[in-house]
Amino acid sequence: MTRTRSSLDYLDGVLTVFGLEFRQRLRTRGWYVLLVAWFVLISAVAALADATTAANDMAGQFVFELVVGFVLLFALLVVPAFSANSISGDRAAGTLAILQNTLLRPGQLLWGKWIAAWAVSLAFLAAALPALVWAVARGGVHVASLPVFVLMVAVELGLMCAIGVGISARSHRPLFAVTATYLLVAGFTLGTPIAFGLSSALSADEIRAPQVEGWSPGPDGGQYVCSQTETMSHTFMHTERTAWMLAANPFVVVSDAVPRPPGVADDFGVMGRISSGVRDAQRGGLEDVPCLTQSSDTEAQRGPIWPLGLGIQGAVAAVAIAAGRRRVRTPMGRLPAGMRVA
């Protein structure tokens, strides 16, 4: 009986912090202006994409994937501003000490702030749902893609919010917290393909294969005519060794998790090209060398990569939350230079 009461009290504390934080954001007029501007922008993008692909049978799928990519891109730009200022802003304003002086535990404070930031970010995703439904009604969209897309984007927003709240709790300056969160989000979105490209270039290797003498057409597309005596050197990159670096990219996670429409090429659409590119990277460059009979055994590696990506992002979020929890515990002990208590 005592254990049940304790768990209820903990949940009540989380909901209390959530209610305070969420109501505070709802009172801000700029939040509504930003939400309306977001809705108009997403609708304009969907209408423009629909107008340019009106004669295409797969226009709905193209508009759908373009809108989802646009939503994910701009949501990742907005999320750090919402989450990274949640605790550091209260600390700078001197209101965090009031919450710390109550019966609230550090975990309740972090959970409440995180859920509130996540709920605010989900409002932007909800504002984009009419454009997504419009794309589905346009035709040519795999119906199973809609819930998976929405779910994966929501999960990505939740993880980025958790990272922002953890950094916010760790920092005592709001500007530093927002900047650090933006840098970390940029590392996931831009840093992962840069790291993949540089590391793949370092993994370049050379191999000798029979020389190509021509092309023999056939019912399955044809094949190369290879020399029996002459060989030539080929340079290729072992991308199968570095493809895992792309897993933490939010666009790769969402693209790789969504089921592809039946009868449609794997590289169709914005998300399809991203997913297909990652699978090709898992396959490695050795498979592209013509007339090579050596097998690289990479087919088994061309599996879904999004679980690894969610695992990496979840680990980073857990580390950020754990590090932030140490800064909201009371009594803290020794304060960092420049950190205010109240």
- In a structure prediction context, what are the per-residue pLDDT tens digits for the chain, which is 342 residues long? 444 444 458 888 888 888 888 888 777 777 788 888 888 888 888 888 777 766 565 666 777 778 888 888 888 888 887 788 888 877 877 777 777 777 788 888 889 999 998 998 888 888 888 888 887 777 667 777 788 888 999 999 999 999 999 998 888 788 888 888 999 999 999 999 999 988 887 877 777 777 766 667 766 666 666 767 677 776 777 788 888 899 999 999 998 888 776 666 666 667 778 888 888 888 876 666 667 665 444 444 567 889 999 999 999 999 999 988 887 876 566 666 655 554
In a domain, 336, yes or no: no
Supply the Cα-derived Rg of the chain in whole angstroms.
Answer: 25
Give CA–CA dist 230/226, Å, rounded.
Answer: 9
Instruction: Tell me: do 172 and 224 sit in the same domain.
Output: no
In a domain, 338, yes or no: no
In a domain, 340, yes or no: no
Instruction: Tell me: do 185 and 239 sit in the same domain.
Output: no
In a domain, 335, yes or no: no
Give residue 6's pLDDT. Answer: 47
Instruction: Tell me: do 148 and 47 sit in the same domain.
Output: yes
Instruction: Tell me: do 102 and 176 sit in the same domain.
Output: yes
Instruction: Tell me: do 100 and 228 sit in the same domain.
Output: no
Instruction: Tell me: do 61 and 150 sit in the same domain.
Output: yes
What are the residues facing 223 on neighbouring strands? 216
In a domain, 339, yes or no: no
* Amino acid letter, residue 218: G
Give residue 339's pLDDT. Answer: 58
In a domain, 333, yes or no: no
Instruction: Tell me: do 111 and 90 sit in the same domain.
Output: yes
Give residue 107's pLDDT. Answer: 84
Give CA–CA dist 85/165, Å, rounded.
Answer: 8
Query: Which tokens hold the place of 175?
Result: 């500007």
Instruction: Tell me: do 158 and 229 sit in the same domain.
Output: no
Give CA–CA dist 209/213, Å, rounded.
Answer: 12
Instruction: Tell me: do 110 and 216 sit in the same domain.
Output: no
> Which residue carries 């949640």 as its tokens?
86
Number of structural domains (the chain) is 2
Instruction: Tell me: do 209 and 63 sit in the same domain.
Output: no
**Among candidates 210, 212, 250, which has minimal Cα distance to 231?**
210
Give residue 249's pLDDT. Answer: 93
Domain hosting 223: range is 198-306
Instruction: Tell me: do 167 and 241 sit in the same domain.
Output: no
Q: Is 33 left (phi over 0), alpha (psi -120 to 50) or beta?
A: alpha
φ, ψ of residue 262 in degrees (nearest 5): -65, 140
In a domain, 205, yes or no: yes
In a domain, 341, yes or no: no
Give residue 5's pLDDT. Answer: 43
b/e map of 175-188 (b: 16 or more CB within 10 Å)? eebbebbbebbeeb
Instruction: Tell me: do 230 and 262 sit in the same domain.
Output: yes
